[in-house]
Structure formats: structure tokens, C-alpha cells
Amino acid sequence: MPKSLHALAFVLALALAACNEQKPAAPGGAQNAPPPPNVGFIAVQPQNVTILAELAGRVLPSLIAEVRPQVSGIIEKRLFVEGSEVKEGDVLYQIADASYQTAQASAKAALDRAKATLAAAQSKADRYKTLANREVASQQDTESAVAAAQQAAADVAAAKAALDAANINLGYTKVRAPISGRIGVSSLTEGALVTANQTNALATIQALDPVYVDAPQSAAAVLATRADIEAGRIKPNPDGVQMRLTLETGQTYDRVGQLKFTDVTVSQSTGTVTLRATFSNPDRLLLPGMFVRGVATLGARDGVILAPQRAVSRDPRGAATALVIGEGDKIEARRLEVSRAVGADWIVEKGLAAGDRLAMDNLQRIRAGLVVKPVPFQPPQTAAPAQGAAKPAPAN
């Protein structure tokens, strides 16, 4: 190997050795400690909150009636438009009535005959009573005449009842709406044979103003709310429990409903109790069977401590815990007793006091006993969509 290459290798070796030399230790041999981590916090304070319950339910008509014929016959006419509004008493179907008119005429004739028989029998009974008083007619003949008059009166009553029945049956040939509401499709057409009180309904009428919204809620939640009200923790609204609805499209229904009824039976399969609210529905926007989401205002609570749900975790036993910045900016672990959610927060019954600094971020990197640098918590800002970018559709 040439001497120039030996010299170059020697120079490189000296340079590498100089780079690998350790730096002199700091005086005393101590290393610089890392700075305490920044931890965002909020200072919790008592607040007045509105207690809400989020529910999911279905729309039901306030009244529903199935239209069925009460006499047998052939449908001659259908007198309504399917899907239209009908009023109570409107004629919906016309059943052929010729035979019922004949029965009515026969019953009227039988009544007239019975009345004529009664007049003759009553006149005879009156004469026999007069003769009996003069001791001209026998007691037996008088009693027979009176009995014949009473029987004739009973025949008149029976004939009158038969005429009433004939009139009723003739009236039933006009099938009328039992309630006011919106009528659905007709199951039979003109020319179809119907029978009295048949199983299949001719049509169904549903009253859509107002409507009901039935929403199940867990029995435990119902009991907890009742206990809070009885204990004075929740102040109920003097106007009752009000409810607002969100439709499947995300649209907010513009009318406020009123909770009217709580079922007395708990479902054995789901453990829920049905709550029923009433809503005005003049525009017929709410239709039977429609799925809706409701928010019921149960009342208000004053002076409660709220903890954001993002700052509360659960230990292996399921207990709620949170990290608090205590004296000397040292992290403390707190065990909390939380009751119900209010939006994105928990109501804290025990474990936090006014002024406590609740740690909100870096929760995975801090632990109890660690000294931190507290900084006011700044919620993350949601980035605005770029110009021309599509905005996400609202969640249902």
C-alpha cells in the first residue's frame, strides 16, 4: 500500500477517536431533569343545569277504528277517497238495501195490525169491566177480556221493537265513519259481498291530530328520576314534562309535546317502561309508525358539579375516577360518584368540590404523584372544511 494511503487512514482514525470521546460531566455529576409536562385543566364550579332524558320512540294515532259492516249484503258504492280526511258519521259505503226496506215495511205493517188488535181488545175489556160493575158480565169473562187486551198491548210492544230493529238494519246499510280522521285503503271494492261483523275490516281510520309518541325508558331510570324528585334534588317543571322531537331526517319538529302517561307495567323482556307524550299534528307531518327521537325536560338541578366525560375513566371495578391537580401542582387520583349525564358531562355527586382543578389532557402520560405544569385547557378547534369540499350529512 502506498504511504499516502497509510497516512490518510491514520488521520481518519484519529478523527473518529476524537468524536467518540465523552463530554466532561457537569459539575457534581448531576444530569439536567426534564421539565414537568403541561397539563390542561378546568376549575370546576357549581352550576344550574336542566335535566334531560333522551328517548327513542314511535308515533301512534290518538284514535284508531276499523270499519266493519254490521249487516250482510253487496257493496253498491264506495263514497270516500282513500287517504282522505273523513268526519265521524260520514257515509263510507252503501250496501244494497232493498231487502232491508222490505223488512222495514213488513215490520211497520205488523205494528199497525198489532195496534188495531189492541184497540179492539182494549174496547172489549172496558165494556166487560162496565158490565161486571153492573153484575151483568161474569168475573171470568171480564178477566179474559182484560188479559186479551194486555196481550194485545204486548204484541204492539213486540211489533214496535221489530220495527226498530228493521230501521236499525236499514240504517246499517249505510256504513258510516265511527271516528274522524284519515282513512286508509279500502280492502273491498264495489260488488263485493260483505257479512255482518266480518273479520276483515273494510278500511281503517286513524286520528292524526293529536298523535301519541310512545318511548320506552329503563325502569331503573324511571325510579332514579322519581327518587331525585321526591328527595328535592330535581325541581320538576310546574307545566309538566315537555318533550321535543327530532325526525329521522334530522329535522326538529317545531311543536312541543307533553308527557301524559307512564305505563304501570315493566316489560319482562326489555326491563323498560313505556312513556307516552301527546303532540299536536295539524300538518300531518307525524305519521303512525314513524321513528322519532325525543328529548324530555324532566326538571332542573341547582348547584351541581359537572365533570366532562372525557376526563372521567373507569377502574377495573367499574368505579368512576379522575385526575386532579392538587397542592404543589401534584397529580391526585380521585374516586367519583356520578349519577346522570348532562350533554357531554357527568353530574358528580361526590369526589369533586368547587375550585378543584380537573386534568383534561395528557391523561395517558400522567399519574398520581407526578408534578405537572398546569395550563388552562383549550378545547380542540374543529377545522373548517376547505372551500369546495363536501360537508358531511347530518347524522340521523
CATH topology of domain 98-172: Helix Hairpins (1.10.287)
Mean pLDDT of 310-336: 91
Residue type at position 294: G
State whether CATH 2.40.50.100 applies to domain 73-95+174-200. Answer: yes
State whether CATH 3.30.360.10 applies to domain 47-60+207-376. Answer: no
Structure confidence at residue 136 (pLDDT):
63
Give 279's strand partners: 211
Structure confidence at residue 201 (pLDDT):
94
Mean pLDDT of 45-59: 91
DSSP 371: B
133-137, 157-161, 216-220, 266-270 — which one is most confidently predicted on average?
A: 157-161
Structure confidence at residue 224 (pLDDT):
86
Using pLDDT thresholds of 50, 70 and 90, give the confidence band for residue 204.
very high
Domain residue ranges in the chain: 47-60+207-376, 73-95+174-200, 98-172
DSSP 309: G
The SS3 assignment for 13 reads helix
Phi then psi for 241, rounded to 5 degrees? -80, 120
Q: How far apart are CA 224 and CA 221, in angstroms?
A: 5
Structure confidence at residue 134 (pLDDT):
65
Q: How far apart are CA 136 and CA 186, in angstroms?
A: 72
Contact call for residues 44 and 184 (beta carbons, < 8 A): no
Same fold, 73-95+174-200 and 98-172: no
Using pLDDT thresholds of 50, 70 and 90, give the confidence band for residue 113.
very high
> What percent of the chain stands above pLDDT 90?
54
How does the average pLDDT of the chain come out, rounded?
A: 85
Structure confidence at residue 5 (pLDDT):
46
Mean pLDDT of 281-304: 92
Q: Is the pLDDT of residue 387 over 60?
A: no
Torsion angle, CA of 160/161/166/170, rounded to 10 degrees? 100
Mean pLDDT of 102-124: 91
Strands, DSSP E only, in 219-256? Answer: 242-246
> Who wins on pLDDT, 127 or 312?
312
Phi then psi for 381, rounded to 5 degrees? -85, 135
User: pTM above 0.85?
Assistant: no
Write the CA distances from 23 to 14, 26, 34, integer angstroms: 17, 9, 20
Among 31-45, 53-67, 199-213, 290-304, the least confident range? 31-45
